[in-house]
Amino acid sequence: MDQSNPEFKQRSVVSSFICSNAGETKVALFRRSEKVSTYQHHLAPISGSIESHETPETAAWRELKEETTLTPRDIDLWRKGKPYTFSDPSVGRKWSIFPFLFRLKDSREGGRGEGGIQIDWEHESWDWYSPDTIQDDEKFGGVPRLKESLRRVWFERDMNESASKALIVGLGELKADHQSGSHELTSIALRAFRDVIEQMDEDINTKWWETARMAAWHLWKNGRESMGAATLNAFLGLLADMEEIVHDILDSKVKWERLLALLDHHLDKRKDMPMRIKSSFATYLESNFLSIANSKPTPSLVILTLSASSTIRYSILEAFASLPIPNLELRILESRPLCEGVNMASSILSAFQSRFSSSPDRHLKLTVYTDASAALASKEVDFVLLGADRISDSGSVSNKTGSLPAVLSARHVCPAAKVLVLSELEKVAEPGAESDHSHEENDPKELVGCWIDGGIKGIKILAEGIEADRDSTNYTVEVKNIYFEWVPAEFIDAYICEEGTLDATVIQEKAQQVGAALDEINFAFDVHTFGVPAKELIFEYVVHRPSTGKEDPHNLIVIQCPGWGLGSRYLQNGLQALWKPEDLASTATTVGYTVIFFHSRGTDGSSRPLTSQMSSMPDFASDLEDLRQHLHMERCPILLGHSNGGAIALGYAEMYPSRVEKLILLDHQLVGFQDKRLLKLEVTRIDPRYQDAWDRMQDRQTGSDEEFTESVRGMWPLYFFNPKQYVPELLRDIGDRKLSVWCYQAQGRCDKELRNPMQMVERLGDVQAETLILFGREDMICGIGIAERTAKDIQNSRVITYGECGHFPWIEKREQTISDIRKFIEKED
């Protein structure tokens, strides 16, 4: 992940895993041969470069055929994974990985099973592996980030069994539903998400939030992505509301209950959309068509539509009921192969019979046409009504195949007809959705089955041709069953939605808002782990990337969290302006940094060492070296630490001086050094701001994590110059986290050994990194003398202090602290 080397060759590649569901799920891994250019003899999925003219999915299918001979006859695309990027200096590459998971078909499904896997020269062998055994370490022998690529398509590893099953069921329901429109599918996705969250009744922490967002991402991308714009928008709004609860200071059980109530609220709110669109449609007709209808010899409303849109079905009859037009002529294309248009015609007729049974002055003429007769059905129509499965930023609409021929037919046969799109605004997709959108190809058997049932002559020969072995014949027979196509914005007159009648300009603005919200929520898989077999430890780190999309690739910040059990949430919440520059009001910069929060051994997902004696500052610093090697960084561009985390960061810079370019220390601890000026702070015992906190300090409880957490909570005023104003902000940033007594006691015992002799103080001169030291002058925990003593021996260092500021400068002096950090990183004077 050495992002400071601009000479790395950038390569976008697909990583396609193949799984077998025969009994216990297994994943096929292929051992790369000595003939390939990188990672010879390493285990890997089927991988290859994405050509400039290809989508990642197209490249995945091509590579699979080239390297294994597998085709859609043998495998199904089961899941897509969220792409990610990393650099590997050992091969001089910056990789962008696009993971996929394919399911191997057996002979009962028409596939060749394992017999279809015939490797080429790029691999020397292959075998099945349990997903749980695949690791990112040298002992396993995989390519870099093999486990990371797999976890992006194999969510079962990151979720409890019940939640995993709920997500699998939800995805299965979405994939199998070829009748519902995108509004209904979005509701199904939200209900499935609620089922998942209901099974996640556990501590709501960073990992929980990561898992919840991962589940939402899969429901969006791996359910029915062709109809997923509405699902995306629904999740963006929902996740934004969920985030406020997740980060609130509440018991996890209370949070969980509030999250479920929030989900129920979002589901209920969806029921109002059809009525609002109906009102918009009625208003449009009244303003733009009523006078035209009444000028006809026989006042009427003539509409052509197709497929089965619940929004259109509801709006047509509601609008007709609200307008003084006696005659409704409705022409519906049947919409093969599932003939949803027939279903909609039946539904509308039933609703009309029920609603207008006692209205002899209201008449409906309903005609169902074949798709091929769209031109005939367009004669003298007033409107062509289209639903939308997604709307691009240009205003183009993806809808059921047959929509474009219907529109073109109407334009030719009846140029005066208006083409209207009736849709919820949630179907507006993020920018680029049209170019990134591949055709959804469905099972050809839906078409072939209709031909067989209809007794089409010669169908047997055609069916045999479809199933023929292509390697032994000189012909190819395919049946394409493509559900959706794009109708360009130039053919659309207006968009009728819950906010009224809109044009393409407003649609573009909405798409930009969706893109910004997508960046803000960030579905990124930001919690990562790696193992160090020699230490028998697993380490966890959290990655935040810029929300602006303007990432500076040369500035990656590694933030070391304290080793005594406080974790990194308070830092993640407090230092967001480093990757979200828009949060800093006083700066015009748009540059965001990639920020990695490293969890010390024993903290959160980082495992505990074999004994508590292995929790000293040098132990923690050596773990940072493991992180550097795992990230494939030649040097750490920027290393930052606060308080005890600052001591660890400083210790690392002492032990590995050539591995750190820039070091930032915030009110850091210097193990072995005592600022004598802190002894004068006894006077604060009678200060009303701190009296209760001093009492808590004398009566620190360490019997359990709960007691310790409550005890420390009472001491926080000592850490601030203005505790009344800023302690609540710190508590919000920490959330409901329970502090670890084990970490606190283990590190406390080990650090005693560093105090005499003063090892950290004696090695300050070894630091080679350019160093920035930020300190609050009223810090009663570490003392400003530490800043002065540290700067004395580090040759290339600078100290900045803040008046009326304690131990958390980014809380009490937020603007100045973030600004000074940015100036230091960007080398401003």
The answer to whether position 317 is within a domain reads: yes
Same domain, 603 and 579: yes
Cα-Cα-Cα-Cα dihedral sign, residues 225, 230, 233, 234: negative
The whole-number pLDDT of residue 253 equals 87
Radius of gyration, alpha carbons of the chain: 31
Given a cut of 50, whether residue 169 has pLDDT beyond it is: yes
In 3D space, the residue among 18, 826, 83 whose CA is nearest the CA of residue 436 turns out to be 83
The whole-number pLDDT of residue 93 equals 83
Q: Residue 364 and residue 733: Cα distance in Å, rounded?
A: 62
Same domain, 322 and 454: no
Same domain, 500 and 553: no
The answer to whether position 2 is within a domain reads: no
Q: Which domain range does residue 192 map to?
A: 157-271
Q: Residue 474 and residue 470: Cα distance in Å, rounded?
A: 7
Task: Report the chain's mean pLDDT, rounded to a whole number.
Answer: 87
Residue 632 to residues 221, 542, 629, 648, Cα–Cα distance (Å)? 30, 16, 5, 20
Cα-Cα-Cα-Cα dihedral sign, residues 725, 727, 730, 735: negative
The whole-number pLDDT of residue 683 equals 60
Same domain, 418 and 511: yes
Tokens at 468, concatenated: 């023929």
pLDDT 10s digits, 447-472:
888 888 888 888 888 888 877 777 67
Same domain, 44 and 100: yes
Instruction: Please report where in the chains the tokens 């002492």 appear, as a residue.
Output: 654
**Number of Cα atoms under 13 Å in the Cβ half of residue 579:** 25
Q: In what order do the strands lie in the sheet with 494-497?
A: 363-369, 327-333, 300-306, 383-386, 418-422, 494-497, 500-502
- Count other C-beta atoms under 10 Å from residue 373's C-beta: 13
pLDDT 10s digits, 242-295:
988 887 777 888 889 999 999 999 999 888 888 899 999 999 999 999 888 888
pLDDT 10s digits, 542-559:
888 875 544 455 579 999
Beta-bridge partners for 502: 495
CB neighbour list of residue 687: distance below 8 Å, 6 or more residues apart: none
Q: How confident is the model at residue 520 (pLDDT cuts 50, 70, 90)?
A: low
The whole-number pLDDT of residue 119 equals 94
- Count other C-beta atoms under 10 Å from residue 752's C-beta: 12
Same domain, 188 and 113: no
In 3D space, the residue among 125, 106, 124 whose CA is nearest the CA of residue 115 turns out to be 106
Average pLDDT in the 425-434 region?
82
In 3D space, the residue among 541, 558, 706, 534 whose CA is nearest the CA of residue 609 turns out to be 534
The answer to whether position 152 is within a domain reads: no
Q: Which helix (H) or strand (E) holds 125?
A: strand 123-129
The whole-number pLDDT of residue 1 equals 43
Instruction: Please report where in the chains the tokens 């474009």 appear, as a residue.
Output: 404
Same domain, 543 and 687: no
Average pLDDT in the 508-519 region?
82
**Which residue would you say has higher pLDDT here, 184 or 262?**
262
CATH code, domain with 98: 3.90.79.10
Q: Residue 507 and residue 516: Cα distance in Å, rounded?
A: 14
Same domain, 669 and 684: no
Q: How confident is the model at residue 524 (pLDDT cuts 50, 70, 90)?
A: low
The whole-number pLDDT of residue 829 equals 41
Residue 88 Cα to chain centre, angstroms:
24
The answer to whether position 18 is within a domain reads: yes
Q: How confident is the model at residue 636 (pLDDT cuts 50, 70, 90)?
A: very high
Spatial contact of 621 and 652, defined as CB atoms under 8 Å apart:
yes
Lowest pLDDT segment from 185-199, 389-403, 607-621 = 607-621
The answer to whether position 151 is within a domain reads: no
Same domain, 608 and 462: no
Number of domains in the chain: 6
pTM of the model: 0.69
Same domain, 39 and 104: yes
SS3 326: coil
Q: Residue 601 and residue 623: Cα distance in Å, rounded?
A: 8
134, 166, 192 - which closes a domain: 134
Average pLDDT in the 63-92 region?
89
CB neighbour list of residue 380: distance below 8 Å, 6 or more residues apart: 302, 414
Average pLDDT in the 172-199 region?
90
734, 757, 772 - which closes a domain: 734
The whole-number pLDDT of residue 496 equals 96
pLDDT 10s digits, 719-760:
999 999 999 999 888 877 888 888 888 888 777 766 655 678
- Any idea what DSSP says for residue 312? H
Query: DSSP per residue over 163-208, as a string?
Result: HHHHHHHHHHHHHH--SS-HHHHHHHHHHHHHHHHHT--S--SHHH
The answer to whether position 639 is within a domain reads: yes
In 3D space, the residue among 762, 221, 742, 153 whose CA is nearest the CA of residue 440 turns out to be 221
Spatial contact of 430 and 511, defined as CB atoms under 8 Å apart:
yes
Q: Residue 410 and residue 424: Cα distance in Å, rounded?
A: 24
How many separate helices (H) and strands (E) can be counted in the chain? 28, 26
Tokens at 695, concatenated: 């009492």
- Supply angle C-alpha 541, 828, 649, rounded to 5: 30
Spatial contact of 520 and 586, defined as CB atoms under 8 Å apart:
no
pLDDT 10s digits, 298-338:
899 999 999 988 889 889 998 899 889 999 999 999 998 88
The answer to whether position 127 is within a domain reads: yes
The answer to whether position 4 is within a domain reads: no
Instruction: Please report where in the chains the tokens 């509030």 appear, as a residue.
Output: 258
Q: How confident is the model at residue 350 (pLDDT cuts 50, 70, 90)?
A: very high
CB neighbour list of residue 737: distance below 8 Å, 6 or more residues apart: 205, 566, 567, 569, 709
CB neighbour list of residue 534: distance below 8 Å, 6 or more residues apart: none
SS3 601: coil
pLDDT 10s digits, 2-41:
444 555 788 899 999 999 977 788 999 999 999 999 999 9
Same domain, 418 and 357: yes
- Any idea what DSSP says for residue 829? -
> Percent of the chain having pLDDT more than 90?
51
717, 734, 751 - which closes a domain: 734
Q: Residue 309 and residue 87: Cα distance in Å, rounded?
A: 46
Burial status of residue 431 (CB atoms within 10 A of its CB: 0-12, 13-18, 19 or more): middle
CATH code, domain with 404: 3.40.50.10470
Same domain, 78 and 225: no
Average pLDDT in the 649-662 region?
96
